Amino acid sequence: MLRDHPELIVLLRRQHALELLCDGKPVQAQQYYFFSILGATWLHRRTPLLDKLVSDLGKTLAAAVAAVGEPTDPSLDLPAERRRTCRDVWDYLRVYFPEFDRRAEAAAWMARSRGVLYTAAAFGEVVSEIGKQYRCLVCHQPLSFCNVPDQRLTEHLHDHCPAVTPALRSRLPRANRPPWHAASEAKRRRHK
C-alpha cells in the first residue's frame, strides 16, 4: 500500500505525528516521523507534493523539539489540521478510487463540477462559480480560471501539478497543445 499510494499513508501518519505534538510529546512525534514517515518513504518514488509534506512536517517537529521546555507554539491549529487531513484524504480517494464516492450530495457536487470541467471533472471541483474558483483534487491547490476551466485544469495537471504520479498521468485527459508545440514534440521524437 505504501509503495502504491504513499501520499495517502503519509497524510494519515502526518496527522498522527501532529496529534502527538499537540499532546505535548514532541520527542515521540519526531521519533515517529523518522521511523514511520521518513524511513518508510525513503526508498519509494515521491512526488514534489509528497516531498513538501514530509519536509514541512520534519521542520515543524524539529522546531518543537528544539523548543522543549518553552511555551508551546499556538500557530499549530489541530482542529484545522484535522479538517485539512480529512479533506486531502477524501480528495485522494475521489481521484484514485472514483467509485468510492457514491453519496447523493457527492453526485450533485460532481454534476455541478462536470458542467464546466467536462473531461477533467474527475480531477477537480468547482468551489465557487461566482469567483471562478476551482480546486485541484490531486494537489489540493485552489485555482482561479476566468475562461475555459476544463482546458486550464488539464494544463495544470499536465504541466504544473506537483502531485501527479505516472499512474495518474495515464488517466489524465489529453492536453490541448498549440500546433507549434505539437510539431516540436513530433520533431523531437523523430530525432531520438
Q: What is the pLDDT of residues 106-138, one digit of tens each?
A: 555 555 555 555 667 778 887 776 767 888 889
- Mark 93-126 as b/e (b = at least 16 C-beta within 10 Å): ebbbeeeeeeeeeeeeebeebbebbeebbbbbbb
Q: How many structural domains comprise the chain?
A: 2
Is the domain of 28 the same as that of 55?
yes
β pairing state of 142-144 and 124-128? unpaired
Range of the domain at 158: 102-184
Given this model, what pLDDT does residue 64 score?
A: 87
pTM over 0.75: no
* Distance in angstroms (rounded) separating the CA atoms of residues 94 and 44: 23
Question: Which of 91, 110, 135 is the C-terminal boundary of a domain?
Answer: 91
Question: Which of 37, 69, 91 is the C-terminal boundary of a domain?
Answer: 91
Given this model, what pLDDT does residue 179 score?
A: 46
* Distance in angstroms (rounded) separating the CA atoms of residues 131 and 74: 32
Question: Is 158 in contact with 172 (CB distance < 8 Å)?
Answer: yes
Question: Which of 66, 91, 116 is the C-terminal boundary of a domain?
Answer: 91
Low-confidence stretches of the chain (pLDDT < 50) are 179-180, 182
* Distance in angstroms (rounded) separating the CA atoms of residues 25 and 64: 9
Angle between helix 48-66 and 6-22 (nearest 10): 20
Is the domain of 76 the same as that of 116?
no
Is the domain of 121 the same as that of 78?
no
Task: Name residues whose C-beta falls within 8 Å of residue 11's C-beta, 6 or more positions apart in sequence.
Answer: 53, 85, 88, 89, 92
* Distance in angstroms (rounded) separating the CA atoms of residues 118 and 159: 19
Q: 96 lies in a domain?
A: no
Strands in 142-144's sheet, in edge-to-edge order, are 124-128, 133-136, 142-144
Q: 189 lies in a domain?
A: no
Given this model, what pLDDT does residue 18 score?
A: 93
Which is it for the CA torsion 121, 127, 132, 134, positive or negative? negative
Place of cell 496529534: 19
Q: Is 186 left (phi over 0), alpha (psi -120 to 50) or beta?
A: alpha
Task: Name residues whose C-beta falls within 8 Å of residue 55's C-beta, 6 or more positions apart in sequence.
Answer: none
Given this model, what pLDDT does residue 164 score?
A: 86
Given this model, what pLDDT does residue 96 score?
A: 82
Q: 191 lies in a domain?
A: no
- Nearest alpha carbon to residue 91 among 33, 36, 29, 161: 161
Given this model, what pLDDT does residue 97 score?
A: 79
